[in-house]
Amino acid sequence: MYKRQALVNLRFEDGAGRSSRLYRLTGGGAPVVARVPLPSGAAKAVAFQVFAVGGGGSWTAGPAPLREAPRFHGEINGAGSDVVHYRGEPGRGVLRYEGPSVIQLEALDDRLVYRVTVAEGSGAGEYPFQWPGRGYYQVRSAGAWSLSTA
């Protein structure tokens, strides 16, 4: 959690010190809170690096139970990166984005391991896609977004 406006890059490290996927997080004066899935095979302790662009600050990180991921059927709104649990059926969906940078919606398996990118775009707009079905999804974003069934 960061208590000042900043762009933050969070990167997990595996046991050999190699980096996994990069998460870009932003805060607008409020604490940055983002759910990101742990890397596959993560042990009880996970190392990560935080790179604050434009200032320092104090950070805290901790595990959260999977039941805390927001569940939804028809529509959900958020800002920044998050993990969500879609409870609807396969079919058409729409990703709406209000940010200036890239946004991605990734399907995860039941262990929160990346399966496939189902939607992505650059800049503000509406991005249609196909819901693969019920499950966990990772939104990777630096701005406000909404997910809905079409």
Is the pLDDT at 8 greater than 80, yes or no? Answer: no
Q: Tell me which CATH code domain 69-149 carries.
A: 2.60.120.430
Give the pTM: 0.76
The pLDDT of residue 2 is: 36
The pLDDT of residue 127 is: 97
The pLDDT of residue 3 is: 41
Is the pLDDT at 122 greater than 70, yes or no? Answer: yes
Domain residue spans in the chain? 6-53, 69-149
16-43 exposure pattern, b = at least 16 Cβ within 10 A, e = fewer: eeeeeeebbbbbeeeebebbbbebeebe
Per-residue pLDDT, averaged over 116-121, amounts to 96
| Cβ neighbour number for residue 70 with a 10 Å cutoff | 13
Percentage of the chain with pLDDT > 70?
60
The pLDDT of residue 30 is: 58
- Residues in Cβ contact with 46 at an 8 Å cutoff, skipping those fewer than 6 apart: 12, 38, 39
